[in-house]
Amino acid sequence: MQLSPIEVRETITKEEFKRDFLKPQKPVVIKRFIEDWPAFEKWNLDYMAEVAGDKEVPLYDDRPVDYKDGFNEPHAKMQMHEYIDLLKREPTKFRIFLWNILKEVPELQKDFSYPDFGIKLMKGLPMLFFGGEDSYTFMHYDIDLANIFHFHFHGKKQVILFDQEQNDYLYKIPHSLITREDINFADPDYDKWPALKHAKGYIADLEHGNVLYMPEGYWHYMRYITPGFSMSLRAIARNPKNLGKALYNIFVMRHFDNAMRRMKGQAWIDGKNEKAIIKTHRKLGIS
């Protein structure tokens, strides 16, 4: 993989963001943007255990997709205080993602505001993401191909990004939003996955208070170097092509994939995984 550092800005104005990153659809890490939020001082694992400790949370790990799993179906559930105790006690692969804080813990919305980046944010969908030491997400892109603003709290994590132009090199699984799950994007085996050598992307480490902007439809892989959590705010895709893909994913693709899992079982999952290799290598003339 050919990874360039994501550009870093200490702070940024709306005009600078629109000109330098939103319009050209380039990622950026902003280091000092939310220091006036109460969340900047308050949000850590202990605080989350205090305000949401009795909430049952959905947990996901790095096990391969199974045909019996529904779309985004959790692998386990646990009370938040138990999960945070686990994060602090030992490494764990369990993660929380897409946890809507407005729905689950409404008082947390008092700790942050919706920044003006020159693009309308969807105010009903602030989502939290948690992970243990060395846990990671599979390389994926979001179903709605949204513009994503990722606010990181507590700890440190690494992010690797690719735009949609890199699809031919990433071993994308058909009828899904992920690449092959057995690829280690932190240390890829180029003998097994030779197409990855051609993929051009971005890399950065995020620390407490950093804001990462991920443009529309960007693939992202995130690995928690230490236990921590982040919040994402999103804005609808503005590019008509990306908006069309988003509508297809939401209203057609995910329902078709679920139906085929029910009809064909594990053979559907295994077939998709094999096609990811065949299609990628065929396009690149790799035998």
pLDDT at 65: 64
pLDDT at 103: 85
Does residue 71 have a pLDDT over 60?
no
Read off the pLDDT of each residue in 38-67 and give the average, rounded to a whole number.
Answer: 86
SS3 of 41, please? Answer: helix
Distance of CA 17 to the CA centre of its chain: 21
Q: Is the dihedral of CA 67, 72, 73, 74 positive or negative?
A: positive
Read off the pLDDT of each residue in 126-137 and give the average, rounded to a whole number.
Answer: 90
pLDDT digits (tens, 9 = 90+) for 148-193: 999 999 899 999 999 999 999 999 999 999 999 999 999 999 999 9
Read off the pLDDT of each residue in 90-111 and give the average, rounded to a whole number.
Answer: 86
Quick check: pTM over 0.85? yes
Does residue 62 have a pLDDT over 80?
no
Secondary structure string (H, E, C) spanning 98-135: EEEHHHHCHHHHHHCCCCCCCCCCCCCCCEEEEECCCC
Residue 77 — very low, low, confident or very high, per pLDDT cuts 50/70/90? confident
pLDDT at 88: 92
Read off the pLDDT of each residue in 205-211 and give the average, rounded to a whole number.
Answer: 96
Does residue 260 have a pLDDT over 60?
yes
**Percent of the chain residues topping a pLDDT of 70:** 96
